[in-house]
Amino acid sequence: MAGSSFGNIFRMTTWGESHGKGIGVVVDGCPAGILLDEVKVQAYLDRRKPGQTKYSTPRKEDDAVEILSGVFEGRTTGTPVSMVVYNKSQKPKDYSAIAECYRPGHADYTFDQKYGFRDYRGGGRSSGRETIGRVAAGAVAQEALKELGVDVYAYTRSICGINIDESTVLRENIMKSPLYMPDLEASAKAEDALEKRMHEKDSAGGIIECIVKGMPAGAGEPVFEKLDANIAKAVMSIGAVKGIEIGAGFGAAFSSGSANNDSFYNDADRGIIKITNNAGGILGGISDGSDIIVRAAVKPTPSIASLQHTINKTGDNIDIEIKGRHDPVIVPRAVVVVEAMVASVIFDMLMASMFSNIGLIKKFFNM
């Protein structure tokens, strides 16, 4: 299977299956000297850990990370950082009933068509547990970005069509909400809507927003390695994500040039700034120094307990009711995954842009 690695200089390779012995990641290209230990990485993993609220799967996993290499005395050494989380709560029998059929909304059918074989235990490699490796790698990127003064954070913008009110948003509310919404009133309404979906044996989707503050201008490339293109690939590679916007996003299609263009202004205190930020912090594939704004559309959890129509491996039309332990909404646990992938791209492209002109090379080598 190809395609398990992502990034250019800061490069992650994830491995493992949902119900295998463990899930892990190898991070290559990580600079030496970053403050890192298992406690720091665990803080990120705990945000996607199952079983923390009634709106996530009741599957209980510690998701305790072990750093196997690349860290010594609390700092990265410059060698590959390898991390593992051992699976402790596998229940393959929960999936024996769907071994011979294709679940609607899942990758069962496409895996069989591609490989002629699939791991039906929770989806195997296509399971949401694969994102453990992404979050662990993103934790490394986040710790590096903190030292550079770049702040990357994400939150739930919408669930069940209930949107946050930007005028009442407080960042400190993100961790107070079981849905990671920075608007607690919207969170309460979304929780009520989720209760209704759960009672109906159904699920919900939503929108995750990620903000990058303190991003310097000049990171990214103008053609195939555009900063926004790489962010889009990173976020769209998350299994449940079905759409992405940067800045005004699809709204730009309904705007005019005079309204959508961001005017520049030379402020006496802040230097060159933009009056508006419809571009979402990226122009021509390169960061412009303003906040980078990313939104991801997350589909409803496909594993639902209500009756669904599908086919089995022999092509017979059948009905199924999916058993097991599943999230009624993926969005809250995916917030940190989006954050991790965006942070990884930002750090990767900052490093790639260090030597984009001869002046920077001379400055680096003091020549």
- The per-residue b/e assignment along 1-18, b for 16 or more CB within 10 angstroms, e otherwise, is eeeeebbeebbbbbbbbb
Residue 124 has pLDDT above 80, yes or no: no
The span from the CA of 98 to the CA of 339, in Å, is 33
pLDDT tens column, 218-231: 999 999 999 999 99
CB under 8 Å to 238, separation ≥6 — which residues? 131, 134, 296, 334, 337, 338, 341
DSSP 281: T
Residue 77: partners with Cβ closer than 8 Å, 6 or more residues away:
32, 70, 71
Residue 219 near residue 150, CB atoms below 8 Å? no
Classify the phi-psi angles of 17: left when phi > 0, otherwise alpha if psi is within -120 to 50, otherwise beta.
beta
Per DSSP, the three-state class of 283 is strand
Burial (CB < 10 A; 0-12, 13-18, 19+), residue 315, is exposed
| 306 φψ region: left (φ > 0), alpha (ψ -120 to 50), beta (else) | beta
* DSSP conformation class of 90: -
Q: What gap in Å lies between CA 333 and CA 214, rounded to an integer?
A: 25
Please give the model's pTM, rounded to 2 decimal places. Answer: 0.93
pLDDT at 54: 66
- State the pLDDT confidence band at 305, using cuts at 50, 70 and 90: confident
The tokens of 348 are what?
Answer: 């990767």
Cβ atoms 75, 169 nearer than 8 A: no
What is the structure's pLDDT at 93? 60
Could you give the count of Cα atoms lying within 13 Å of 152 in the half-sphere of its Cβ? 28
Q: Which two tokens stand for residue 329?
A: 């909404």
pLDDT for the residue 309: 94
- Judged on CB neighbours under 10 Å (0-12, 13-18, 19+), 236 is middle
Residue-wise pLDDT tens digits, 243-300: 999 999 999 999 999 999 999 999 998 889 999 999 999 999 999 999 999 999 999 9
Burial, 308: exposed, middle or buried (Cβ in 10 Å; 0-12, 13-18, 19+)? Answer: middle
* Segment 51-96, tens digit of pLDDT: 666 666 666 668 899 999 999 999 999 999 999 999 886 665 656 6
* Assigned token pair, 213: 């503050």
Among the listed ranges 85-99, 130-144, 183-197, 216-230, which one has the minimum average pLDDT value?
85-99
Measure the CA–CA gap between 92 and 13, rounded to whole angstroms. 25
Does 117 score more than 80 pLDDT? no
> Per-residue pLDDT averaged across 336-363, rounded?
94
